[in-house]
Structure 1
Amino acid sequence: MTTTEFGRALRLRRDRVSPEAAGLPAGGHRRAAGLRREELALLAGVSVDYVTRLEQGRAAHPSAQVVEALVRALRLDTEERAHLFRLAGLVPPGPDTVPAYIPPSVHRLLDRLAGTPAAVYDAAWTLLLANPPYAALMGDPSHWRGPERNSVWRNFVGPGSRARFTAAERRAFEAALVSDLRATTGRYPADRRLGQLVEELRARSDRFDELWRADAVGRHEAARKTIDHPRVGPLVLDCDVLGVAGHDLRIMVYTAEPGTRDAERLALLTVLGTQEMAT
């Protein structure tokens, strides 16, 4: 298979996906019903220039991560996902790797949570998809690349998040993340990317290495968090983690108790964030 065939397949699928189907507003004059290149690039987290080069056959050998991101952006089913991987000269990910495929039903779920911050993570806590309210609450993740999209990496060696913790809460949160990640490595021992992530974290973070050597296995689940937002101030929110049966995905949802100042601030920043993204 050639990159020209990949580019043609990518263009055909971009043309047939409407903005509404991809969770985008359809306003403004459009020459075609499908996605614009810049819209696909935004959804997939790659540059417009790279999408152009892929479609024109000038970019060779897209990585599995890029193909997976394009699959998610185009909301392809499992057969079309496998087809796009093969056109890129890649073997579709098998059962021994951490699943990154988001079924259409989960895409629709996030579309309907228009006023609720929600995001989809894989089993290794890599961010796959975030809706506009989540981006407004936690910061726009569209420019994050590589390990920056992984919550474990961000909390141990990266910039962290907007969540505020006491010292005790921080220790418990870190322990839960590491024990969860260790459980994931037990389910996917042959996943090379997962192994490389653990190796890098152990090499760069003494705290991660200490927790990893403790050999605890568990799950990171629901918690109440204080989010320090730069525009609306602190919000105390419930953070629930929902599992997607059969796909080993996690949906993280933030909600506020009705009638509270936190609920008012959450509604305000959701509106502000949506307006900024539309602009």
Structure 2
Amino acid sequence: MTTTAQAAETDVRRSELAAFLRSRRERIAPEQVGLPRGRRRRTPGLRREEVAQLSAVGVTWYTWLEQARDIHVSAQVLDSIARALLLDPNERTHLFTLAAVADPAPGTECASISESVRAMLRQLEPILVCVQNSRYDLLAYNRTYGNLLCDLDALPPQERNCMWLAFTNPGWSQALVDREEVIRAMAAKFRSAMAEHIAEPTWKHLLGRLQQASPEFREIWERHEVMRMAPDRTKRFLNTHVGLLHLHYQMLWLGPRPGPRMIAYVPADEESRARLERLQELTVSGALAGV
């Protein structure tokens, strides 16, 4: 790559980073991070000085970062910004990638998922529970859910996305009994949700990865099908350890739509209940470790 091309790529990367930071800042209500809203707030979400305060960096320096200035960004500062902006694991990875800096703490838990929500996930077992955002990123899940379709803990954080796994992970794909219907609905709901995030780098990045990795996704995407919400119904999963599971699913919003939602899978019959309890036993005992 020539020096000119390298400089152009760096400029694009800085511009994408600036746009990404602005989009993340504007989506956070002051109340989410313990700040008062006040009466004269005109800026959507947080102000730049508030992000600088939460991140313990200078206001001028953070402003330059959002203006795509040519400044050095350390891993420690990016870590602070990621926490201040409540970035989920995929957004955090994207932040460090755009900044061309190695993440000092890969796999950091999603800051927007409170400890009380994580406690609920643990207490609800053997019911399978996860927390997703509208991009299908898995922000949190309990142990039993982690072994439902594949070993989620064995995957890097950037691959813990239900749509990515449905189109690219053989184990996850095989566990979806009604896979053709499921992936078509997922792509349609993703297209509907993306209409509100069309310029956001993390959404464009996921779409680009899927289009590059899966001809099947490209074919479905070109149909331009849209769906806001699918009707509640029973889902069927073929678990490699305990067999066929018939599960009712329930979606609970953790904040304003279309934000994070908690999804619970409840046994639809006694046979599924017994198999789900068996899956929990195997998970808790460590019998599935390395399987």
Q: What interval of TM-score do these two structures reach, taking the shorter chain for normalisation? A: 0.5 to 0.7
Q: CA deviation at 1:126?
A: 1.0
User: What are the equivalent positions in structure 2 for 1:185-224 lying under 5 Å apart?
Assistant: 185-219=194-228, 221=230, 222-224=232-234
- Partner deviation per Cα, 1:157-180 (whole Å, 9 max, x = no partner): 233515332xxx433211211111
User: 1:27-176 residue pairs with structure 2 within 5 A?
Assistant: 78=33, 83=54, 88-90=76-78, 91=81, 92-93=84-85, 101-161=112-172, 163-165=175-177, 169-176=178-185
Q: Distance in 2 between matches of 1:272 and 1:177?
A: 30
- CA distance, structure 2, for counterparts of residue 164 and residue 216 of structure 1: 21
- Separation in 1, partners of 2:156, 2:119: 25
**What secondary structure, in the 3-state scheme, does the structure 2 residue paired with 1:125 have?**
coil
Please say if residues 163 and 225 of structure 1, whose CA atoms lie closer than 8 Å, have aligned partners that are also in contact: no
Query: 1:250: which partner in 2?
Result: 261
* Aligned residue number for residue 106 of structure 2: none
Give the whole-Å Cα distance in 2 for the aligned partners of 1:88 and 1:262.
47
How much has 1:113 moved relative to structure 2? 0.8
The alignment's C-alpha RMSD in Å is 3.4
**Residue type of the alignment partner of 1:275:** S
Secondary structure (helix, strand or coil) at the match of 2:235 reads: strand
Residues 252 and 163 of structure 1: is their aligned pair in 2 closer, same or farther, counting only changes over 3 Å? Answer: farther
C-alpha separation in 1, matches of 2:284 and 2:168: 30
- 2: CA distance, partners of 1:220 / 1:160: 26
Could you state the TM-score of these two structures normalised by the residue count of structure 2?
0.57
Q: Secondary structure at the match of 2:77?
A: coil
Matched-pair contact (CA < 8 Å) for 1:98–1:124: no
Return closer, same or farther for 1:124/1:203 CA change in 2, 3 Å cut-off.
Answer: same
User: For 1:119 and 1:229, how far apart are their aligned partners in 2?
Assistant: 17
Distance 1:207 1:139 in 2: 21
2:235 to 225, 237, 246: 225
For structure 1, the 5+ residue unaligned runs are 1-63, 65-76
Distance 1:94 1:104, change over 3 A: closer
Cα distance in 1 between the residues matched to 2:144 and 2:223: 36
Question: What's the CA shift for 1:277?
Answer: 8.1
AA matched with 1:242: L
Contact 1:244/1:250 (<8 A) preserved: yes
Q: Secondary structure at the match of 1:215?
A: coil
Q: Secondary structure at the match of 2:139?
A: strand
Q: Which residue of 1 aligns with 2:279?
A: 269
3-state DSSP class of the match of 1:187?
coil
Counterpart contact for 1:136–1:274, Cα < 8 Å: no
Aligned length: 198
